[in-house]
């Protein structure tokens, strides 16, 4: 495909016609750069003149970023025709689908091609932090790491406690450990004799003496700020040794007349090393003074009901707590700010939804023949929820809209066969389907599982991974492009640029607990109106589902195939490792195969690897050479060999780091040992445990922990003992740790909130969701005065990309 883009605006088109397929024209539009539109890659079908995909349209799964969406703005409401060269003929067709055009025809003479620009009123909030007093280049970097890079991020950084500086006893009465604030006279300075000794400044208040104690302080600074004979206001914690009073590094030293300013309640913020509390507080104060008055975006009735203050007042209130109760999530000010954040989240999702509805898809409907053959070949019949999910998917695919569906099901619930049946619908309808797996191992495993079934249906299936190279790969690609191969399973290798399909109708993305938005989008772009099915084993609690997916369509596999045995789960302190080894010996004698998952020592794989290597050596001493090791740093071939040996029963114990997907399906494996289970997220433990209990043998899972365990850690591990229901585990984890902490969901790319706390503000979330829906029903382009205010809200929470979907006002 040629690629010629005019330098300073204009339109370029290039033809690409494959001999067998309908001609598809690729167009790159570089529209009027001076108006701020950068460029867009789109696909057009010249026959119907409708828009198929644009990168920006593919914001399917909301809340998750789309690569370079910023640069792929869709020129809204442009009544604009573009010319293309197609098979040497000149074509021109409208850029905007007919129905959109009619609706927007009043604007037909006008081009609204502005790139959305952040409203001026918000500029001060999006200034860089080094513009704030006290934050130089070094400290502003630390603050940015802690809070975020803009002034507004400081406003979102809320205090977690308060220091009460109102007590002002005389020195004679000051109690050990108390925070006191008072006026003192500087008597004399005692400089240290050695470097290790502190610098002392003796002060008095008439009732007694106190030594201000400084380590590693600069003499000149102390002499300047605490001149002998003068009065100063100081505040800090006192230590009393008999009649001697010390104050180590006073929190405040100020001119005497500032005493009253110090005697109040002081908010305490989460900090990072190197950033002094005082500096951060001062910067936050400055940020508060820069917060502009903003138009109200919350419905007046809602404001009134909760007695919520307006935005600026709420900010001032949360940063100036007057009592401990002001720090609770239920205060009107905190509720209001949480609602702002949730409303921005839900409105953005609703906008994506609104846009997705207008997406052009293609109906895929089959005669069911291929599916029948597979069902006949299966050694089992589908569970009720598998059949239900199939019906939902088939109905969706038959519609002319694009399918965007999430298939959610616990490990082992049987998602793979559902995916295959969905893929066969695409084939029955005359097209192709692809399954994208996150790792090589999983792609191979899917392929191995699907191949016999596809064969039963008489459909050719291929595997494409990064390991395919050269001529064989070229041949495979050619057969994909000409449509000979109907089904393909692969890794990210599938989304490489030179992989083309004859007619890709369905993309299935198996994300396990790893979301790869970029790849998902890239795969969908390889066809026209491609239906998308995302499979996830992450049990996402309903509340989080709402924040990340809005009301996206979800099919859930709620039951496991029959005949599964429960997995006996036990927790055991690590110091009983010897007993564990002993019971493993007995299990191995009985024919068991064992996974041993090594601790998540660090974020770094190197450290994890060291621990796994050490465990492998240790177990090798006990069990000899029937212990294997797999980890992410190995060559793929070596890893495969070890996996295969484990599957074949040539080794009994497979030691693994978690960085590699332990997603192998070895039904004979019946024991899962997880070291340092307390360091894992519950969702992840649940996933790991799901690797056993896949066959007919009785399975067990040993969670080894480092004693002593805290209350929460104990509660978390005991949930695993109690239940195997992934959804319940996720709900409990959410309850115990709060949304952002959930390991499985952090990986899933769900948004984390700064102001809202989902465990406390769950009711606000559903309110925000209903509100967002209503808002768009009444004012789909946010053009009313409240709509204008809501646009500001979207900018405030950096949902700029969403604003591009709106007609400009
Ligand atoms: P998931 O991908 O959801 O973790 P799989 O699709 O790998 O689960 O299925 C797990 C196992 O269950 C596979 O061995 C599969 O053959 C089997 N299986 C799937 N559906 C059924 C069913 N309805 N009845 C019995 N076994 C099933
Ligand atoms: Mg699976």
pLDDT in tens, 507-559: 998 865 444 445 556 666 777 888 889 888 766 666 666 666 655 678 888 88
Contacts of 59 (CB under 8 A, 6+ apart): 66, 69, 352, 355, 356, 801
The ligand 1 atom nearest the CA atom of 409: 3
Ligand 1 pocket mutation pick from 412, 452, 563 by most atoms within 8 angstroms of CB: 412
C-alpha 235, offset from chain centre? 42
pTM listed for this prediction: 0.59
**What ligand has the least distance to the C-alpha of 416?**
1
Is the pLDDT at 777 greater than 60? The verdict is yes
* pLDDT band for position 408 (cuts 50, 70, 90): confident
Question: What is the mean predicted confidence (pLDDT) over 648-677?
Answer: 82
Nearest to 726 by CA among 534, 514, 535, 558: 558
> Do 110 and 35 form a contact (C-beta atoms < 8 A)?
no
**What ligand has the least distance to the C-alpha of 563?**
1
Say yes or no: CB of residue 375 within 6 Å of ligand 1: no
Q: Point out the least confidently predicted range of 145-149, 326-330, 542-546.
A: 542-546
How many CA atoms, within 13 angstroms, populate the side-chain half-sphere of residue 242? 0
**What ligand has the least distance to the C-alpha of 415?**
1
C-alpha 378, offset from chain centre? 37
**What ligand has the least distance to the C-alpha of 559?**
1
**Cis amide leading into 708 (omega within 30):** yes
The ligand 1 atom nearest the CA atom of 386: 23
Please classify residue 591 by burial: count the beta carbons closer than 10 Å to its beta carbon, then call 0-12 exposed, 13-18 middle and 19+ buried.
exposed
For residues 719 and 109, the model is more confident at 719
What 3-state DSSP class applies to 227?
A: coil
- In the reported structure, the alpha carbon of residue 674 is separated from the centroid of ligand 2 by a whole-number distance in angstroms of 21
Question: What is the mean predicted confidence (pLDDT) over 263-285?
Answer: 92
From CA 685, how far away is CA 704, in angstroms rounded? 12
- In the reported structure, the alpha carbon of residue 664 is separated from the centroid of ligand 2 by a whole-number distance in angstroms of 9
Say yes or no: CB of residue 559 within 6 Å of ligand 1: no
Question: What is the mean predicted confidence (pLDDT) over 587-607?
Answer: 76
* CA-proximal residue: ligand 1, atom 26 (nearest): 561
- In the reported structure, the alpha carbon of residue 595 is separated from the centroid of ligand 1 by a whole-number distance in angstroms of 20
Nearest to 362 by CA among 43, 593, 751, 808: 43
* CA-proximal residue: ligand 1, atom 18 (nearest): 414
On average, the pLDDT of the chain sits at 79
- In the reported structure, the alpha carbon of residue 407 is separated from the centroid of ligand 2 by a whole-number distance in angstroms of 11
* CA-proximal residue: ligand 1, atom 16 (nearest): 414
**What ligand has the least distance to the C-alpha of 686?**
1
* pLDDT band for position 210 (cuts 50, 70, 90): very high
Residue 433 has a pLDDT of 97
For residues 173 and 604, the model is more confident at 173
Say yes or no: CB of residue 412 within 6 Å of ligand 1: yes
* pLDDT band for position 204 (cuts 50, 70, 90): very high
Ligand 1 pocket mutation pick from 561, 668, 694 by most atoms within 8 angstroms of CB: 561
Question: What is the mean predicted confidence (pLDDT) over 426-449?
Answer: 91
* CA-proximal residue: ligand 1, atom 10 (nearest): 412
DSSP percent split of the chain into helix, strand, coil, nearest 5: 40, 20, 40
Is the pLDDT at 604 greater than 80? The verdict is no
Question: What is the mean predicted confidence (pLDDT) over 739-745?
Answer: 38
From CA 21, how far away is CA 19, in angstroms rounded? 6
* CA-proximal residue: ligand 1, atom 19 (nearest): 414
Residue 185 has a pLDDT of 97
* CA-proximal residue: ligand 1, atom 27 (nearest): 561
Say yes or no: CB of residue 561 within 6 Å of ligand 1: yes
Is the pLDDT at 151 greater than 90? The verdict is yes
């Amino acid at each position: 495909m040629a690629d010629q883009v005019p330098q300073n605006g204009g339109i370029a088109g290039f033809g690409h016609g494959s001999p067998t397929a309908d001609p598809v024209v690729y167009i790159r539009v570089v529209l009027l750069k001076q108006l701020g539109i950068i460029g867009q890659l789109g696909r057009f079908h010249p026959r119907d003149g409708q828009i198929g995909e644009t990168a920006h349209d593919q914001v399917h799964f909301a809340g998750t970023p789309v690569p370079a969406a910023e640069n792929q703005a869709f020129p809204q409401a442009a009544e604009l025709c573009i010319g293309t060269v197609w098979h040497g003929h000149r074509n021109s067709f409208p850029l905007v689908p007919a129905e959109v055009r009619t609706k927007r025809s009043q604007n037909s003479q006008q081009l609204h091609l502005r790139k959305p620009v952040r409203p001026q009123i918000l500029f001060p909030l999006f200034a860089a932090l080094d513009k704030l007093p006290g934050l130089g280049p070094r400290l502003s970097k630390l603050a940015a790491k802690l809070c975020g890079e803009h002034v507004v991020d400081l406003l979102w950084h809320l205090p977690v406690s308060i220091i009460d500086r109102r007590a002002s006893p005389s020195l004679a009465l000051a109690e050990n450990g108390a925070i006191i604030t008072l006026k003192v006279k500087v008597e004399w300075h005692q400089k240290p004799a050695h470097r290790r000794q502190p610098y002392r400044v003796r002060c008095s208040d008439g009732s007694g003496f106190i030594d201000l104690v400084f380590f590693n302080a600069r003499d000149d600074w102390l002499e300047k700020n605490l001149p002998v004979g003068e009065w100063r206001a100081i505040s800090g914690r006192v230590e009393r040794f008999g009649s001697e009073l010390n104050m180590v590094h006073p929190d405040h030293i100020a001119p005497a007349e500032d005493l009253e300013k110090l005697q109040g309640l002081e908010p305490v913020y989460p900090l990072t090393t190197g950033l002094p509390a005082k500096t951060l507080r001062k910067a936050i104060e400055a940020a508060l003074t820069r917060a502009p008055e903003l138009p109200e975006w919350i419905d007046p009735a809602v404001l009134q009901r909760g007695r919520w203050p307006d935005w600026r007042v709420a900010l001032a209130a949360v940063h100036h707590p007057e009592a401990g109760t002001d720090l609770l999530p239920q205060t009107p000010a905190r509720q209001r700010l949480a609602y702002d954040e949730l409303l921005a989240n839900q409105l953005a999702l609703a906008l994506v939804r609104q846009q997705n509805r207008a997406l052009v898809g293609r109906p895929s409907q089959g005669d069911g023949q291929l599916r029948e053959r597979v069902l006949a070949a299966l050694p089992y019949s589908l569970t009720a929820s598998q059949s239900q999910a199939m019906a939902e998917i088939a109905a969706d695919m038959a519609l002319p809209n694009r399918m965007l569906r999430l298939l959610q099901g616990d490990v082992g619930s049987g998602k793979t066969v559902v995916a295959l049946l969905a893929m066969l619908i695409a084939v029955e309808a005359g097209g192709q389907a692809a399954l994208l797996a996150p790792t090589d191992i999983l792609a191979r495993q899917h392929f191995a599982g699907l191949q016999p079934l596809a064969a039963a249906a008489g459909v050719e299936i291929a595997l494409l991974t990064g390991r395919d190279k050269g001529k064989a790969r070229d041949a495979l690609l050619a057969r994909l492009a000409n449509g000979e191969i109907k089904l393909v399973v692969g890794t990210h290798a599938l989304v490489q640029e030179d992989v083309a399909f004859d007619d890709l109708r369905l993309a299935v993305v198996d994300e396990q607990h790893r979301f790869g938005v970029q790849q998902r989008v890239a795969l969908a772009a390889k066809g026209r109106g491609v239906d998308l099915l995302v499979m996830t084993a992450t049990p996402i609690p309903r509340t989080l589902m709402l924040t990340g997916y809005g009301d996206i369509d979800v099919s859930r596999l709620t039951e496991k195939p029959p005949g599964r045995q429960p997995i006996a789960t036990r927790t055991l302190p690590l110091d009983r490792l010897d007993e564990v080894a002993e019971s493993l010996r007995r299990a191995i004698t009985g024919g068991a195969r064992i996974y041993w998952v090594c601790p998540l020592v660090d974020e770094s794989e190197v450290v994890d690897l060291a621990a796994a290597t050490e465990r492998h050596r240790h177990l090798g001493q006990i069990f000899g050479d029937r212990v294997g090791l797999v980890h992410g740093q190995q060559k793929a071939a070596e890893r495969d060999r070890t996996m295969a040996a484990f599957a074949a029963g040539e080794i009994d114990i497979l030691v693994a780091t978690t960085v590699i997907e332990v997603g192998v399906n070895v039904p004979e494996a019946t024991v899962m040992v997880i070291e340092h289970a307390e360091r894992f997220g519950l969702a992840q433990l649940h996933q790991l445990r799901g690797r056993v209990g896949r066959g007919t043998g009785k399975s067990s899972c040993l969670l080894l922990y480092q004693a002593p365990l805290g209350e929460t850690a104990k509660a978390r591990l005991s949930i695993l003992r109690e239940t195997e229901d992934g959804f319940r585990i996720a709900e409990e984890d959410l309850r115990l740790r709060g949304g952002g902490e959930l390991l499985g969901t952090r990986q899933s790319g769900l948004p984390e909130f700064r102001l809202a706390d989902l465990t406390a503000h769950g009711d606000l979330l559903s309110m925000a969701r209903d509100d967002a829906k209503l808002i768009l029903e009444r004012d789909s382009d946010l053009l009313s005065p409240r709509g204008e205010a809501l646009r500001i809200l979207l900018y405030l929470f950096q949902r700029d990309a969403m604003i591009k979907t709106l007609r400009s006002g």
